[in-house]
Amino acid sequence: MTTAGSTLQSRKVGPLEVSAIGLGCMNLNHAYGVPPTPEEGAALLNRALDLGVTFFDTAAIYGDGENEKLLGSAIMHRRQEFVLASKCVLGIVEGKRVVDGRPETIRRTLDEALQRLRTDYIDLYYLHRLDRNVPVEDSVGELSRAVEAGKIRHIGLSEMSAATIRRAHAVHPIAAIQTEYSPWVRNPEVAVLDACEALDIGFVAFSPVARGFLAGAVKTADYVPGDIRAVMPRFLEPNLSHNLKLYEQFGDIADDIGCTPAQLALAWVLARGPNIVPIPGTRSIAHLEEDLGALDVTLTPETIDAIDDIFQPGAVHGGRYSAAMQAMVDTELLPEEQEDVSA
């Protein structure tokens, strides 16, 4: 049993050394219906620290600043125990998601984030999305000035293409790329993972258990109000029923090797490369402990091949984002997704 003060396996995210599994904090305030109470969120965050998690990921848009406030009140008294990541550019204005990568907006968002987080620096600060109306060089240039000012330590990019990564990296070294990656989302394999390896950039995998799908958390399309999955095509019928058949096969593999489906998904992500760190999110301490158990799961090449055979190109039905959300994403499309767009 993992206890307080435990040390987990570590990995490098660019120059940062972090626990091999981090914690995505979004769903403590955002995207999955009614959030837990601040007390419940604080208990989970502190338990993660006690278990050895040293990488916490938040963003300005999560709960419109509430997630950063939660981290500020719950764990900032333990600031020296963890690497803190947050994000700018994607925000909420008058109830709508807005992408704004102008330097002056980034500057204001960062200053507000530092206040909410109750800290004077952020270890890793991402451009959450690409603002197609602002050259990425301008946005990264503003973050480079924040590095010089000591407000942030390192710069990251989220959901951006290999071409954009290279443009940004030419302005200032990029420490990490964050993109959705799991057995059923393979977009980083088109070009981003190769770019990260070539440029010595760390890769952070968000939604590594497929927004709960590969943990068995989704059985029907009956979502509560405010659940982000209610507008994602692969979580809706008729796609969902088809995809659940894939999950059944995936669950059988987990049963065969003696782990849970969530642990199998995380072990698969960890096996993709030593510079990859998954950041699953959860509201449950029991699920947190389960996720960290993935570090004890070793996959054979045969098991990895069996997983890849289930989720071969075209196997999953439905896009990963709604059309409106996809328009904000710069990461490369898979060949089958390009066919859907052109159809």
Check 32, 62, 126, 181 and give the catalytic one. 62
Token readout for 124 is 């890793």
Residue 259 region, left (φ>0) first, then alpha (ψ -120 to 50), else beta? beta
Task: List the one residue out of 141, 133, 72, 71 whose CA is nearest residue 106.
Answer: 141
Cα separation, 281 vs 292, whole angstroms: 11
Residues 125 and 143: beta-carbon distance below 8 Å: yes
Which residue reads 């040293």 in tokens? 54
Which run of H or E residues covers position 336?
Answer: helix 335-342
Task: Tell me how long the chain is.
Answer: 343
Other CB atoms within 10 A of residue 181 CB: 26
Strand 10-13 and strand 83-88: the pairing is: unpaired
Token readout for 281 is 């999110």
Cα separation, 191 vs 336, whole angstroms: 15
Q: Which residues contact 162 (CB under 8 A, 6 or more apart)?
A: 190, 191, 192, 194, 195, 332
Burial 19-54 (b: 16+ CB within 10 A, else e): bbbbbbbbbbbbbbeebbeeeebbebbbebbebbbb
Residues 45 and 284: beta-carbon distance below 8 Å: no
**DSSP-derived secondary structure letter, 14:** T
Cα separation, 51 vs 32, whole angstroms: 25
Clarify whether 62 is annotated catalytic: yes
- What are residue 165's DSSP bridge partners? none
Which residue reads 């050895």 in tokens? 52
Which run of H or E residues covers position 69?
Answer: helix 66-74
Active site residues: 62
